[in-house]
Amino acid sequence: MNQLQQLQQFSTIVADTGDIASIQRLQPQDATTNPSLILKAATQDEYAHIIAKGLEDSKHLPTQAQRLQGAIEAVSVGFGLEILKVVPGLVSTEVDARASFDMRATLEQARRLIKRYQEAGIDRERVLVKIASTWEGIQAARLLEQEGIHCNLTLLFNFAQAQACAEGGVTLISPFVGRILDWYKKSTGQDYSAETDPGVLSVKRIYDYYKACDYQTVVMAASFRNIGEINALAGCDKLTISPALLDALASNQEQLTRQLSPTEGQLSMRLSPLSEKEFRWQLNEDAMATEKLAEGIRAFAADLRTLEQKIETLCNTGQLRKMGT
Protein backbone atom coordinates (compact mmCIF):
# COMPACT_ATOMS: atom_id res chain seq x y z
CA MET A 1 0.00 0.00 0.00
CA ASN A 2 1.07 3.59 -0.50
CA GLN A 3 1.40 5.89 2.49
CA LEU A 4 -2.05 7.41 2.06
CA GLN A 5 -3.63 3.96 2.15
CA GLN A 6 -1.55 3.04 5.20
CA LEU A 7 -2.47 6.28 6.92
CA GLN A 8 -6.17 5.61 6.35
CA GLN A 9 -5.81 2.52 8.55
CA PHE A 10 -4.94 4.72 11.54
CA SER A 11 -6.61 8.11 11.00
CA THR A 12 -9.66 9.56 9.25
CA ILE A 13 -8.47 11.57 6.25
CA VAL A 14 -10.05 14.97 5.60
CA ALA A 15 -9.46 17.09 2.49
CA ASP A 16 -8.40 20.64 3.28
CA THR A 17 -9.77 22.39 0.19
CA GLY A 18 -12.74 24.12 -1.35
CA ASP A 19 -11.96 22.64 -4.76
CA ILE A 20 -14.75 20.15 -5.36
CA ALA A 21 -12.98 18.53 -8.31
CA SER A 22 -10.03 17.67 -6.06
CA ILE A 23 -12.37 16.24 -3.43
CA GLN A 24 -14.06 14.04 -6.05
CA ARG A 25 -10.67 12.77 -7.19
CA LEU A 26 -9.21 12.15 -3.73
CA GLN A 27 -12.36 10.72 -2.09
CA PRO A 28 -11.68 11.71 1.55
CA GLN A 29 -14.11 10.96 4.37
CA ASP A 30 -14.69 14.64 5.26
CA ALA A 31 -13.72 18.07 3.97
CA THR A 32 -12.90 21.39 5.59
CA THR A 33 -13.15 24.88 4.14
CA ASN A 34 -12.18 28.38 5.25
CA PRO A 35 -12.48 31.86 3.70
CA SER A 36 -9.10 31.53 1.98
CA LEU A 37 -10.01 28.20 0.35
CA ILE A 38 -13.46 29.43 -0.71
CA LEU A 39 -11.98 32.61 -2.18
CA LYS A 40 -9.53 30.54 -4.22
CA ALA A 41 -12.29 28.24 -5.46
CA ALA A 42 -14.68 31.12 -6.13
CA THR A 43 -12.31 32.60 -8.72
CA GLN A 44 -12.68 29.47 -10.89
CA ASP A 45 -15.33 29.53 -13.62
CA GLU A 46 -16.68 26.08 -12.78
CA TYR A 47 -17.97 27.37 -9.45
CA ALA A 48 -19.64 30.52 -10.79
CA HIS A 49 -23.05 28.94 -10.31
CA ILE A 50 -22.47 28.80 -6.54
CA ILE A 51 -21.74 32.53 -6.45
CA ALA A 52 -24.75 33.24 -8.63
CA LYS A 53 -27.11 31.25 -6.43
CA GLY A 54 -25.76 32.96 -3.32
CA LEU A 55 -26.49 36.33 -4.85
CA GLU A 56 -29.94 35.28 -5.98
CA ASP A 57 -30.85 33.86 -2.58
CA SER A 58 -29.89 37.12 -0.86
CA LYS A 59 -31.31 39.76 -3.18
CA HIS A 60 -34.59 40.03 -1.21
CA LEU A 61 -32.85 41.32 1.95
CA PRO A 62 -33.64 44.98 2.76
CA THR A 63 -30.19 46.60 2.97
CA GLN A 64 -26.99 46.33 0.99
CA ALA A 65 -25.07 45.23 4.10
CA GLN A 66 -27.58 42.47 4.80
CA ARG A 67 -27.58 41.36 1.17
CA LEU A 68 -23.79 41.14 1.19
CA GLN A 69 -23.67 39.20 4.44
CA GLY A 70 -26.45 36.92 3.24
CA ALA A 71 -24.62 36.29 -0.03
CA ILE A 72 -21.39 35.38 1.78
CA GLU A 73 -23.22 32.94 4.03
CA ALA A 74 -25.13 31.48 1.09
CA VAL A 75 -21.91 31.04 -0.91
CA SER A 76 -20.15 29.37 2.04
CA VAL A 77 -23.05 26.97 2.49
CA GLY A 78 -23.28 26.51 -1.29
CA PHE A 79 -19.73 25.19 -1.40
CA GLY A 80 -20.51 23.01 1.59
CA LEU A 81 -23.57 21.54 -0.14
CA GLU A 82 -21.55 20.69 -3.24
CA ILE A 83 -18.87 19.08 -1.08
CA LEU A 84 -21.44 16.99 0.79
CA LYS A 85 -22.52 15.48 -2.53
CA VAL A 86 -19.08 13.88 -2.88
CA VAL A 87 -17.96 13.09 0.70
CA PRO A 88 -19.73 10.54 2.88
CA GLY A 89 -18.96 12.36 6.10
CA LEU A 90 -18.77 15.94 7.34
CA VAL A 91 -18.06 19.41 6.02
CA SER A 92 -16.75 22.34 8.08
CA THR A 93 -18.06 25.82 7.28
CA GLU A 94 -16.46 28.83 8.93
CA VAL A 95 -18.11 31.80 10.59
CA ASP A 96 -16.93 35.33 9.81
CA ALA A 97 -13.43 35.77 11.26
CA ARG A 98 -14.36 39.35 12.19
CA ALA A 99 -16.71 37.88 14.81
CA SER A 100 -13.83 36.09 16.54
CA PHE A 101 -14.12 38.30 19.63
CA ASP A 102 -17.90 38.65 19.53
CA MET A 103 -19.68 35.69 21.12
CA ARG A 104 -23.17 36.92 20.23
CA ALA A 105 -22.34 37.50 16.56
CA THR A 106 -20.69 34.07 16.36
CA LEU A 107 -23.76 32.41 17.86
CA GLU A 108 -26.13 34.19 15.50
CA GLN A 109 -24.15 33.40 12.37
CA ALA A 110 -23.60 29.77 13.35
CA ARG A 111 -27.34 29.32 13.77
CA ARG A 112 -28.00 30.95 10.39
CA LEU A 113 -25.49 28.66 8.67
CA ILE A 114 -27.05 25.55 10.18
CA LYS A 115 -30.52 26.80 9.22
CA ARG A 116 -29.38 27.19 5.61
CA TYR A 117 -28.06 23.62 5.57
CA GLN A 118 -31.27 22.27 7.09
CA GLU A 119 -33.40 24.18 4.59
CA ALA A 120 -31.33 22.50 1.86
CA GLY A 121 -32.16 19.10 3.35
CA ILE A 122 -28.86 18.48 5.16
CA ASP A 123 -28.96 17.09 8.69
CA ARG A 124 -26.98 19.23 11.15
CA GLU A 125 -25.04 16.10 12.15
CA ARG A 126 -23.12 16.40 8.86
CA VAL A 127 -21.96 19.97 9.46
CA LEU A 128 -19.28 21.41 11.72
CA VAL A 129 -19.40 25.16 12.30
CA LYS A 130 -15.82 26.38 12.23
CA ILE A 131 -14.90 29.02 14.83
CA ALA A 132 -11.60 30.63 15.82
CA SER A 133 -10.24 29.39 19.17
CA THR A 134 -10.52 32.69 21.01
CA TRP A 135 -12.10 32.75 24.47
CA GLU A 136 -15.26 34.20 22.94
CA GLY A 137 -15.26 31.61 20.19
CA ILE A 138 -14.86 28.73 22.62
CA GLN A 139 -17.67 30.01 24.84
CA ALA A 140 -19.93 30.40 21.80
CA ALA A 141 -19.10 26.82 20.84
CA ARG A 142 -19.95 25.63 24.34
CA LEU A 143 -23.47 27.05 23.95
CA LEU A 144 -23.87 25.82 20.37
CA GLU A 145 -22.93 22.29 21.37
CA GLN A 146 -25.67 22.39 24.01
CA GLU A 147 -28.10 23.25 21.18
CA GLY A 148 -26.93 20.30 19.11
CA ILE A 149 -24.83 22.41 16.73
CA HIS A 150 -21.41 20.78 16.39
CA CYS A 151 -18.27 22.91 16.20
CA ASN A 152 -14.75 22.77 14.81
CA LEU A 153 -12.46 25.11 16.75
CA THR A 154 -9.76 26.30 14.39
CA LEU A 155 -6.59 28.42 14.61
CA LEU A 156 -5.53 26.42 17.65
CA PHE A 157 -1.86 26.80 18.60
CA ASN A 158 -1.73 26.48 22.36
CA PHE A 159 -2.53 23.86 25.02
CA ALA A 160 -4.78 26.27 26.95
CA GLN A 161 -6.96 26.63 23.84
CA ALA A 162 -7.22 22.84 23.60
CA GLN A 163 -8.00 22.46 27.30
CA ALA A 164 -10.75 25.08 27.18
CA CYS A 165 -12.27 23.42 24.08
CA ALA A 166 -12.41 20.03 25.76
CA GLU A 167 -13.94 21.54 28.90
CA GLY A 168 -16.53 23.24 26.70
CA GLY A 169 -17.59 19.96 25.12
CA VAL A 170 -16.49 21.01 21.64
CA THR A 171 -16.90 18.30 18.99
CA LEU A 172 -13.56 18.82 17.23
CA ILE A 173 -10.41 20.94 17.34
CA SER A 174 -7.97 21.79 14.54
CA PRO A 175 -4.45 22.37 15.94
CA PHE A 176 -2.29 24.01 13.25
CA VAL A 177 0.91 22.01 12.94
CA GLY A 178 2.65 23.81 10.07
CA ARG A 179 2.02 27.34 11.25
CA ILE A 180 3.60 26.49 14.59
CA LEU A 181 6.63 25.16 12.73
CA ASP A 182 6.75 28.32 10.59
CA TRP A 183 6.95 30.52 13.68
CA TYR A 184 9.72 28.53 15.35
CA LYS A 185 11.80 28.29 12.19
CA LYS A 186 11.57 32.05 11.76
CA SER A 187 12.20 32.72 15.43
CA THR A 188 15.16 30.38 15.93
CA GLY A 189 16.61 30.08 12.43
CA GLN A 190 16.71 26.31 12.93
CA ASP A 191 15.40 23.42 10.88
CA TYR A 192 13.41 20.70 12.62
CA SER A 193 12.96 17.01 11.96
CA ALA A 194 9.52 15.45 12.23
CA GLU A 195 10.51 14.12 15.66
CA THR A 196 11.45 17.57 16.98
CA ASP A 197 8.86 19.60 15.04
CA PRO A 198 7.17 21.86 17.65
CA GLY A 199 3.84 21.63 15.81
CA VAL A 200 3.92 17.84 15.90
CA LEU A 201 4.89 17.84 19.59
CA SER A 202 2.05 20.23 20.39
CA VAL A 203 -0.54 17.92 18.80
CA LYS A 204 0.92 14.86 20.51
CA ARG A 205 0.61 16.55 23.91
CA ILE A 206 -3.01 17.52 23.26
CA TYR A 207 -3.91 14.07 21.90
CA ASP A 208 -2.33 12.25 24.86
CA TYR A 209 -4.04 14.56 27.37
CA TYR A 210 -7.46 14.11 25.77
CA LYS A 211 -7.15 10.32 25.72
CA ALA A 212 -5.80 10.13 29.25
CA CYS A 213 -8.68 12.25 30.56
CA ASP A 214 -11.29 10.54 28.37
CA TYR A 215 -12.35 13.75 26.62
CA GLN A 216 -14.51 13.01 23.59
CA THR A 217 -13.34 16.05 21.59
CA VAL A 218 -11.81 14.90 18.30
CA VAL A 219 -8.25 16.01 17.49
CA MET A 220 -7.88 16.87 13.80
CA ALA A 221 -4.36 18.02 13.06
CA ALA A 222 -4.19 20.64 10.29
CA SER A 223 -1.91 22.98 8.34
CA PHE A 224 0.85 20.59 7.31
CA ARG A 225 4.03 21.66 5.55
CA ASN A 226 5.36 18.23 4.55
CA ILE A 227 4.47 14.54 4.68
CA GLY A 228 6.99 14.00 7.48
CA GLU A 229 4.72 15.96 9.82
CA ILE A 230 1.73 13.91 8.69
CA ASN A 231 3.51 10.58 9.17
CA ALA A 232 4.66 11.67 12.63
CA LEU A 233 1.00 12.07 13.61
CA ALA A 234 -0.29 8.81 12.12
CA GLY A 235 -3.01 7.64 14.47
CA CYS A 236 -4.33 11.11 15.31
CA ASP A 237 -8.15 11.00 15.24
CA LYS A 238 -8.34 12.97 12.01
CA LEU A 239 -5.86 14.66 9.68
CA THR A 240 -6.96 17.44 7.32
CA ILE A 241 -4.55 17.55 4.41
CA SER A 242 -4.20 19.66 1.26
CA PRO A 243 -4.62 17.96 -2.14
CA ALA A 244 -0.94 18.43 -2.94
CA LEU A 245 0.17 16.55 0.17
CA LEU A 246 -2.50 13.88 -0.31
CA ASP A 247 -1.05 13.29 -3.78
CA ALA A 248 2.47 13.14 -2.29
CA LEU A 249 1.36 10.50 0.21
CA ALA A 250 -0.34 8.50 -2.53
CA SER A 251 2.86 8.41 -4.55
CA ASN A 252 5.05 7.32 -1.62
CA GLN A 253 5.45 3.57 -1.05
CA GLU A 254 7.56 3.70 2.12
CA GLN A 255 6.41 1.87 5.23
CA LEU A 256 4.41 3.97 7.69
CA THR A 257 4.17 3.25 11.43
CA ARG A 258 1.41 4.36 13.76
CA GLN A 259 2.72 7.06 16.11
CA LEU A 260 -0.31 8.04 18.22
CA SER A 261 -2.57 5.59 20.03
CA PRO A 262 -5.40 6.12 22.52
CA THR A 263 -3.99 3.30 24.67
CA GLU A 264 -0.75 5.17 25.31
CA GLY A 265 0.04 8.30 27.28
CA GLN A 266 -2.42 7.52 30.05
CA LEU A 267 -0.51 9.19 32.89
CA SER A 268 -1.97 12.71 32.75
CA MET A 269 -4.35 13.94 35.45
CA ARG A 270 -7.26 16.14 34.43
CA LEU A 271 -6.34 19.77 35.09
CA SER A 272 -8.51 22.20 37.02
CA PRO A 273 -10.97 24.00 34.69
CA LEU A 274 -9.58 27.13 33.07
CA SER A 275 -11.09 30.48 33.99
CA GLU A 276 -11.16 33.27 31.43
CA LYS A 277 -8.35 35.03 33.29
CA GLU A 278 -6.17 31.92 33.31
CA PHE A 279 -6.90 31.22 29.64
CA ARG A 280 -5.95 34.73 28.57
CA TRP A 281 -2.80 34.69 30.69
CA GLN A 282 -1.57 31.37 29.33
CA LEU A 283 -2.23 32.53 25.78
CA ASN A 284 -0.46 35.82 26.49
CA GLU A 285 2.59 33.96 27.81
CA ASP A 286 2.86 32.03 24.55
CA ALA A 287 4.22 34.49 22.00
CA MET A 288 3.88 32.00 19.14
CA ALA A 289 0.22 31.24 19.84
CA THR A 290 -0.66 34.90 20.38
CA GLU A 291 0.96 35.99 17.14
CA LYS A 292 -0.29 33.11 14.98
CA LEU A 293 -3.87 33.36 16.28
CA ALA A 294 -4.00 37.08 15.50
CA GLU A 295 -2.31 36.58 12.14
CA GLY A 296 -4.70 33.80 11.18
CA ILE A 297 -7.78 35.83 12.06
CA ARG A 298 -6.46 38.82 10.08
CA ALA A 299 -5.72 36.64 7.05
CA PHE A 300 -9.15 35.00 7.03
CA ALA A 301 -10.81 38.39 7.48
CA ALA A 302 -8.79 39.84 4.59
CA ASP A 303 -9.80 37.00 2.27
CA LEU A 304 -13.41 37.41 3.32
CA ARG A 305 -13.27 41.11 2.44
CA THR A 306 -11.82 40.21 -0.95
CA LEU A 307 -14.68 37.76 -1.51
CA GLU A 308 -17.16 40.46 -0.51
CA GLN A 309 -15.61 42.84 -3.03
CA LYS A 310 -15.95 40.20 -5.75
CA ILE A 311 -19.61 39.72 -4.91
CA GLU A 312 -20.27 43.47 -4.69
CA THR A 313 -18.71 43.93 -8.12
CA LEU A 314 -20.96 41.24 -9.57
CA CYS A 315 -24.01 42.94 -8.07
CA ASN A 316 -23.06 46.44 -9.15
CA THR A 317 -22.14 45.53 -12.72
CA GLY A 318 -25.18 43.35 -13.31
CA GLN A 319 -23.03 40.29 -14.00
CA LEU A 320 -25.38 38.18 -11.90
CA ARG A 321 -27.63 37.60 -14.92
CA LYS A 322 -24.65 36.64 -17.04
CA MET A 323 -23.80 33.88 -14.57
CA GLY A 324 -26.95 31.99 -15.39
CA THR A 325 -29.48 33.02 -12.73
Which residues are CB-contacts of 317 (< 8 A; sequence separation ≥ 6)?
A: none
Distance CA 276, CA 99 (A): 18
* Residue 195 near residue 232, CB atoms below 8 Å: yes
Residues for the chain: how many in total?
Answer: 325
Q: Which of 248, 235, 90, 102 lies closest to 172 in space, CA to CA?
A: 90
**Cβ neighbours, 10 Å, residue 62:** 7
* Residue 165 near residue 156, CB atoms below 8 Å: yes
Question: Which residue in 40, 85, 130, 211 is the catalytic one?
Answer: 130
* Residue 124 near residue 114, CB atoms below 8 Å: yes
Residue type, 174: S
Alpha-carbon dihedral angle through residues 181, 186, 189, 190, given to the nearest 10 degrees: 0
Q: Give the sign of the dihedral formed by CA 87, CA 166, CA 302, CA 117.
A: positive
Distance CA 292, CA 299 (A): 10
Q: Which of 19, 36, 37 lies closest to 28 in space, CA to CA?
A: 19
Q: Which of 2, 7, 5, 1 lies closest to 230 in space, CA to CA?
A: 7
Does 130 qualify as catalytic in the annotation?
yes
| Catalytic (active-site) positions | 130
